[in-house]
Structure 1
Amino acid sequence: MVMNHRKKLAVLATAVMLTSSLPAAAFAESADKPAASAVSVSGDAAGSDGSAVAPVNAKVTKEKAESLARQMVSVPKEYVLQGASLSSDTLAGGKRSVWGLDFVYKVNGKNKGSIYVRLNADTGQLLDYSTYLDNPSAKPTYPLKVEREAAQKIAYSFLSEVAPTYKDQVKFNPEYGAQQLPPLTGEVRHTLRFDRVVNDIPYVDNYIELDVDSEGHVLRYTLQWDDTIQFPKADAKLTADEAKKKLIEQAKPELRYIIPNNPEGPRKPVLSYDMGAFAIDAVTGKEVQSGYIDPNQVSGTPIADKPLGEAPGAVNLTEEQAKQAVLSAFSIPSNAVYAGASYYENTDDGAGATVASWRLEWELKNGKDTVGSASALINSRTGFINSFYSYQNNQNASAKPALSYDQAEAKAIETVKKQLPWAADELYVVKRDKLQYDPDKVSYIDTYYFSFVHKINGATADYDNVNVSIDSNTGAVRSYDASIHPYKYPETAPKVITPAQAIEKWMTYYRTELTYYLTQNYVYQGQPIPVEKYKTLLAAGVIQPSDVESNANAQLIYRLVPRQLDESIFLDAESGSWRSRDTGEVTQLEKPKATDIDGHWAQRQLELMVAYKALDVKDGKVRPNEIVTRGELIKMLVLAMNSGRPPVLYAGSADSTASASFADVGTKNQYYAYVESALQQNLIDIGDGSLNPDGKVDREEMAELIVRALGYNSLANYDDLFNISFKDADKMEKKGQAAIVVGLKIMTLSGGNFQPAKQVSRAEASVAFFRFLQTRAELQEAPLRN
């Protein structure tokens, strides 16, 4: 029964007292829905005893909201109401009032636990619930008491009780949360989502989402729902096949250079084919929602047809030289007073180099009063100006701009040519909607903003950016910001797969989904304006939300939905392979699955190692009874130490080759990053300079690796501290290490023998390292005092 689960949760929340408070804003129904109003009420001023009544107007009073919250999610009585806030959510057809309640458990004045509840202040409907238990010794125990399928039933039972009017309007989303990697440390949570269904079509922006732990407790609940939306019925719409064809026709794959986190040394650009998710109208087939910058917004030609100068060379600027370089590059107002400089040095791990910079400051004066400021950042080793900024109070705010948009654009291009002459033939200005700067429709324009895209042989460099703003009256540069990385690129464009091939690959990553899309419409001064213009005018302070009428319409669309993966990927434009953005390694869309471990005594532990790619799968087999190699064992250990994350190493300059510590584990070796990380963490020694990564591992060596990872290796060397009763102790060198792993039940004896020379199978290694994870969590020390 659901009530039993909630009672369990109440007991759990009371028993585990090391918890921390969560901000109410963290559970706002939608990050892009600002609260229209908010009133905060202190729990001390208006406590649960009813001694003071909150002076706010809501159908559900604060006292009633507290009572409902305690009843619906079984808030333990030890938890007192610390704070309450009444706010408004903006909906498609109006607003709703919401109570946010923070319950805390205190010991000696210190917070030891917290539960957050959010309720509709008009109906009392539960909108959000979350409890946070700070339990550093929490660890996953496999097999789980509650697997995902059972968690789904618990979640549905819970929402049936707390949201009965919604339970028949939702459908379980089997893909959401299913690809989460099982945790190596901490508690296991199943994330489950139930999508809203309207006219037999899922509206995926409305849903009920829950977290259920492996003990069967509901730890988080969110009702993301808008009852004011009007949904249209479309009798004539494209079929799924027709929609897919339209999506393929309108897809715009783009060549882009990206920087994966390369574990084999410095970061280097890799050419990728990017294709963002987008959507089309389900009736007309026209694009309605783009997931990327439209290439048509970028000028078709660079700002120059050839380089206009040389790249900056090696210099070593003094403060005065840096100051003069900035003064010669940008116009600083005559009332500027130099305020001084700061010098910085910073090691850029990604580039493998030290960056030295001067930051220069000026104050703009009107007599004794400071009316503005100016600053610049310049690389002292190259003379490259990274940024410039100038601000002065504008005394002529109501005047129309002296410069047109086109004149300002010309000024911006002139500035970029002057500052980045060597890259002028690779920089493209982004064309903005000129309506944003129409002086007849916008009451105040003091600055024009421009951005430039860096392209190499037609491919956009994702990590580079150039931005310039121009004063609309003086034509002076108000701000300049440039980041052009000095990477080396091929002189000619490399051979890549065709756009059609790229689309075909991306369509295996995306699936086509029929759903509703909420479009926001804005009307300003009687005229409809695009959402982009609304946001621009709002950000510039030209208009306030109250100046604009808005409404939302639901539109039926077909959209591309990405796969739920446990890693970020990109499409290599040269090879056509999927690669990991975290490591740069070739990967695949489907999770590797071993077919030879069903029913194996170490099945779950082997599945974990396969999920984290600690063990390879060949032809669908993980070969559990094969002897584990030294490279595999070290990889397991480092992944365990890093909570499943692969290590990232940086070394040398951007165009150098990383050096290897072991002669037989070069930078191209699959275990290179793991071996270097293990060496840095003192898990292995350099020895004679060779590792033999393909060598077989015995039990004594594995015991030492585990003890080193636990941090007890120095202690283990005092083997006279341990009661060593192994029958074969005289055959061992690492008696203390063996005693520790056996005492901690990470490794076991066989007939009283440790069997130090016995080689370890892949299954045995998987089990040992999973036990290591559990033991390490148990050994974490709590502080002596709170």
Structure 2
Amino acid sequence: MKRKVSVLLAIVMILTLIPMSSFAQQNFDKQLKEAITKSKELFNIGKEYDKFSSDVSSYDGKTAFNLNWSDSKEKLGSINVSLTVDGEILSYSKSEPYYGENRPKLPKVSKDEGLKIAKDFIGKVSPDIAKNIKYIDRDEQLDIYSDLYNYSFIRTINGMIYDENNVNITVDNITGEVRDYYTNWDKDIVFSEAKDVISKEKAQELYKQKIGLKLIYKTSYIEREPRLYLTYASLRNNLGIDAKNGEAVQIGYYGPYYEGMDMNMGAKGEENAENLSPDEQEAVESVSGLISEEEAEKLGRKYLEINKDYKLDSVNLYRDWKNKGEYKWYLGFRKNVNGVEKYSSVAVNAKSKELISFYRWDDVNSNKEIKYNEKQALDIAKNFIVKTNPEKVNNIEYIDPVADSRRVDEVPQKIVNLNFMRIENGAYVLDDAIRVSVDLTEGKIVEYEMDWYNGKLPSKDKVISIDEAYNILFDQIGMEVRYTVPNRYEKTDNKKLEAILVYGLKKDKPNDIDANTGKILNYEGIPYEKREKISYKDIEKSYAKDKINILTQYGIGFSGNEFKPSEKLNQRDFLFLLAKANNSYLSSDISNNDEKLYSYLINTGIVKDDEKAPKKIMTKEEAIKYIIRALKYDKVADLNNIYKDLFKDTKDINPELKGYVSIAYGLKIVEGSNGYLRPKAELKREDGANLIYNFLFSN
């Protein structure tokens, strides 16, 4: 996935801009002059950049100059540099004006060459940082339409990673220039000594005891409808084991560096006059029995406990995205009190009338005293759920947030948020919960939300044992020691940050385990497969070897380790390569799904409905036809009478395709041999790769 750091945006988000005039009395003129001089020398900024602007920013005690150069003729683009008053380079970016067509260009700099350029750049601008970083090879597929390589580095200390600090850099794969450089680096931080660390085996046992795996239903939306699947996973991915005292500590959020129905509605023997399709009939039934807007308003006022002083401000009916065939009424109310607008809102199930959510305006301010504690608030929330959703009370469990946040400095809160997670047959349903917010000054519930899937949950009759799950977790995913700063964003004093050593799950794989098969699952709930670089063992003697290898870097190729270059190329395989070349973000499942592949090709106009013939061997002129359609030049190509004869065998070209061949020849997608095109020649797989390469990079 393409990740490009926008330096300017990052600066705006991280640093609070302060006008230059406010610093005049602090004598920053000398530092600014030094910053300008250093930046011009370091990044070779010449006189051709004749426009300059700057500002000064300050955040968390760190003051930085933000410098910008551009040229008045608007030919060079701009250069942006951010550096601290003591000369530390925070970020750099160089942009160029773009007026051309967005077409693929063959890189002149390889990915490995770009990596060396990136490392040399870091060593030049931040030598101290360069000594303490580790390159994270994400093995990302190259983007056909990007002229950039993206590189990420994380900080290392004492041979162990501290991934809360990082360096991101992009290199132009045509010119070899660094386009963007951005650092996130803690200067004032103390790292604990890497000694007296408990063993990995001990950490694993403590992980079982203090964090642990649970049976959890998770949800994916691959087909736009919720699909639940059963996993062994942790409810607290933000916890790890202190590598010295064995306690559970916060380490930040975990993430990898990656039957039909009988639809006959008429009497027996009668024809359905409406002649509705099953989907259409299902849609009709789904809106049958919905309560009226007036009834929804009455229910809303009842749940909100508001009178007629609150005017109905908005009413909306929406389909429940989580539960097919169900709808929700959303109502908003407002009341003007001494010129102040007070808002409340509510959502109810449009069939069952069940309360789904509400927000009740409450004047919680610093003048009110806290009269209730969190235990009392928990009782208030439970009683409300018993009253409102009695049938769900026995299927929820309160999740203590304190165990998650590990707050160092307890700050009195006027409102407490309580989360009750759904449990079915001993397994947690991760995305289903009832959330209640209680005002501790009045003991009132000010906000309520229920998220609940009403469909059938997957069976847990064949789940593997928890011990098997732990073996998979530790053997196939594993734990590692790394540095972290617990509760870094809750720090309230001016002391230096303290990084401790923790055992956490490794980040190069997801940590969800299929509870039935034991396979590691990705975030769509399907078996995780590490993307292997495409490499073929049978192309050494192919004339298109180099082109085939370049295409594989962009994910354009066939699965397996054999390309079979001399085999005849059928329509399906050629169109698969063309589809991948035409849309680098095309879903990977088209590789094994001809229906989806042809649906894409027909919808984009590359293939016509009556041309679908997956097993047909491709001829050169037919391949050219599909390529020209992919380029959207077919309307011009159809003007056959304007093209001259280019080949000695032009008469052999299908007259309807003469324009297509002419355009392809002009764009250097195809070329003749001794003046002959041989348009009816059947293509080999290597010929197809050659055409696809030319389609991308020769025009």
Normalised-by-shorter TM-score class: 0.7 to 0.9
Can you list the C-alpha shifts for 1:715-761, whole angstroms capped at 9, x where unaligned?
A: 32221122232333333332222222222122333333333333333
* Counterpart-to-counterpart distance in 1, 2:606 and 2:24: 60
| Mapped contact 2:555–2:580 kept (Cα < 8 A) | no
TM-aligned CA deviation for residue 626 of structure 1: 2.9
Inter-CA distance 72–199: structure 2 relative to 1 (3 Å threshold): same
Instruction: Give the one of 670, 676, 698 matched to 2:599.
Output: 676
Q: Does 1:88 align with 2:58?
A: yes
Q: Tell me the alpha carbon deviations over residues 455-491 of structure 1, each in whole angstroms, 9 at most, x when there is no partner.
A: 443444444443221233444331122332443324x
* Alpha-carbon distance, 1:129 to partner: 0.8
- Residue 153 of structure 1 is matched in structure 2 by 116
The number of aligned residues is 657
State the Cα distance separating 1:338 from its structure 2 match: 1.3
Aligned twin of 1:130: 93
Q: Residues 517 and 554 of structure 1 are in contact (CA less than 8 Å); yes or no, is this contact kept in structure 2?
A: yes
Partners of 1:24 and 1:102 within 8 A in 2: no
Query: Which of 80, 103, 127 does residue 69 from structure 2 map onto?
Result: 103
What's the offset of the Cα at 1:710?
A: 1.5
8 Å Cα contact 2:166-2:184 kept in structure 1: yes
Number of the residue aligned with 2:291: 317
Partner SS state of residue 61, structure 1: helix
Closer/same/farther in 2, CA of residues 105 and 511 from structure 1, 3 Å limit: farther
| 3-state SS of paired residue (1:477) | strand
The superposition leaves residues 204-252 of structure 1 with CA deviations (integer Å, 9 ceiling, x where unpaired) of 4445443223232122223443343233334433466776776688773
Equivalent residue in structure 2 for 1:185, among 145, 150, 157: 145
> What is the aligned partner in structure 2 of residue 66 from structure 1?
36
Q: Does 1:621 align with 2:581?
A: no
Deviation at 1:324, TM superposition (A): 1.0
Give the 3 Å change call, closer, same or farther, for CA 255–191 of structure 1 in structure 2. Answer: same
CA distance in 1, matches of 2:330, 2:404: 36
Amino acid at match of 2:484: Y
Determine the C-alpha separation between the residues in 2 that align with 1:369 and 1:419: 34
1:39 aligned residue: 18
**Residues in 2 aligned to 1:260 and 1:611: alpha-carbon distance in whole angstroms:** 29
Read off the aligned partner of 1:117 and give its amino acid letter. V
Residues 265-315 of structure 1 deviation map (CA, whole Å, 9 limit, x = unaligned): 74522334435475433334544345669xxxxxxxxxxxxxxxxxx9953
| Structure 1 counterpart of 2:132 | 170
- Residue 59 of structure 1 and its aligned partner are, at CA, apart by 8.0
Task: Write the distance in 1 (CA, Å) between the matches of 2:434 and 2:359.
Answer: 14
**Corresponding residue for 1:26?**
10
Rounded to whole Å, the distance in 2 between the matches of 1:337 and 1:613 is 58
What is the CA-CA distance between 1:591 and the residue it aligns to? Answer: 0.8
| CA offsets 1:495-518 (integer angstroms, 9 cap, x no match) | 233334444444466465443323
Q: How much does 1:187 deviate?
A: 0.4
Deviation at 1:199, TM superposition (A): 4.0
Task: Give the aligned partner of residue 79 of structure 2.
Answer: 115
User: Aligned pair in 2 of structure 1 residues 273, 375: CA closer, same or farther (>3 Å)?
Assistant: same
Aligned to 2:508: 563
Q: Which residue of 2 aligns with 1:662?
A: none
Unaligned runs of 5+ in 2: 255-285
For each residue in 1:603-629, what CA deviation from the matched residue of structure 2 results, as whole angstroms up to 9, or x when unmatched?
A: 4543465566654433x3333333334
Give the corresponding residue for 1:602: 544
Question: How many angstroms apart in 2 are the aligned matches of 1:118 and 1:467?
Answer: 43
2:585 counterpart (636, 640, 644): 644
CA distance in 2, matches of 1:749, 1:700: 12
Match of 2:416 among 412, 429, 448: 448
Give the aligned partner of residue 407 of structure 1: 376
Amino acid at match of 2:635: S
The one-letter code sitting in structure 2 at the alignment partner of 1:602 is A
Identity %: 20
Structure 2 contact 415–437 (Cα < 8 Å) conserved: yes
1:361 aligns with 2:332: yes
Distance 2:183 2:355 in 1: 49
From 570, 574, 591, the counterpart of 2:516: 574
Structure 1 distance, partners of 2:485, 2:674, is 68
* Residues 475-624 of structure 1 aligned to structure 2 (within 5 Å): 475-490=443-458, 492-507=459-474, 510=477, 512-519=479-486, 534=490, 548=493, 550-563=495-508, 571-578=513-520, 581=523, 586-597=527-538, 599=540, 600-603=542-545, 605-607=547-549, 610=552, 615-618=557-560, 620-624=561-565
Alignment match of 1:768 (pick from 676, 691, 698): 691
Question: Which residue identity is paired with 2:508?
Answer: R
* CA distance in 2 between partners of 1:489 and 1:246 (Å): 31
1:373 maps to which residue?
Answer: 343
Output the TM-score relative to the length of structure 2: 0.80
Determine helix, strand or coil for the equivalent of 1:624.
coil
Equivalent position amino acid for 1:99 in 2 = F
Task: Tell me which residue corresponds to 1:304.
Answer: none
- Residues 604/454 of structure 1: CA separation in 2 closer, same or farther (3 Å cut): farther
Distance 1:384 1:196, change over 3 A: same
Aligned match of 1:339: 312
Aligned to 2:278: none
Post-superposition shift, 1:80? 5.3
SS in 2 for 1:636: helix
2:598 aligned counterpart, secondary structure? helix
CA contact (8 A) 2:435 2:450 kept: yes
Deviation digits for residues 681-730 of structure 1 (CA, Å, limit 9, x no counterpart): 23222228xx4434433323322221222122233222112223233333
Q: CA deviation at 1:119?
A: 0.8
Alignment-derived partner of residue 666 in structure 2: 743
Hey, what does 1:429 align to over in structure 2?
398
For residues 21 and 279 of structure 1, do their structure 2 counterparts lie closer, same or farther at Cα, with a shift above 3 Å needed? Answer: closer
Per-residue Cα deviation, 1:633-689 (whole angstroms, up to 9, x for no partner): 3333333333233179xxxxxxxxxxxxxxxxxx9962332222222223222228x
Distance 1:612 1:260 in 2: 27
- How far did residue 100 of structure 1 move? 1.9
Q: 1:378 to 1:573 in 2, by over 3 A?
A: same
Structure 1 counterpart of 2:241: 280
- Counterpart contact for 1:429–1:453, Cα < 8 Å: yes
Q: Which structure shows the bigger proportion of residues in helix conformation?
A: 2
Shift of 1:323: 0.2
1:361 maps to a residue whose letter is: G
Asked if the contact 1:196–1:206 (Cα under 8 Å) also holds between the matched residues in 2, the reply is yes
Choose which of 617, 637, 644 in structure 2 pairs with 1:723: 644
Q: Secondary structure at the match of 2:244?
A: coil
Look up the match of 2:265.
none
Q: How far apart are 1:75 and its partner, in Å?
A: 2.8
In structure 1, give the amino acid aligned to 2:605: N
Which stretch shifts more, 754-763 or 416-425?
Answer: 416-425
> 1:363 is aligned with what amino acid?
R
Report the AA paired with residue 685 of structure 1: K
| 1:466 and 2:439 correspond | no
Q: Residues 603 and 517 (structure 1 numbering): CA distance in 2 closer, same or farther, change over 3 Å?
A: farther
Tell me the SS of whatever aligns to 2:169: strand
Using the TM superposition, give the Cα deviation of residue 179 of structure 1 relative to its aligned residue in structure 2, in angstroms: 0.8
Q: For 1:391, what is the secondary structure of its paired residue?
A: coil
Given that 2:323 and 2:454 are in contact with CA atoms closer than 8 Å, whether structure 1 keeps it comes out as no
Distance in 2, Cα, partners of 1:65 & 1:423: 63
Inter-partner Cα distance in structure 2 for 1:352 and 1:641: 34
Aligned counterparts of 1:437 and 1:283: Cα–Cα separation in 2: 18
CA contact (8 A) 2:114 2:149 kept: no
- Residue among 275, 296, 300 paired with 1:326: 300
Structure 1: stretches of 5+ with no match in the other structure: 1-19, 47-52, 294-311, 522-530, 536-544, 649-666, 779-786
CA contact (8 A) 2:233 2:511 kept: no
SS at match of 1:755: coil
- Give the superposed CA RMSD: 4.2
Q: Which amino acid aligns with 1:158?
A: F
Residue 334 of structure 2 aligns with an amino acid whose one-letter code is E
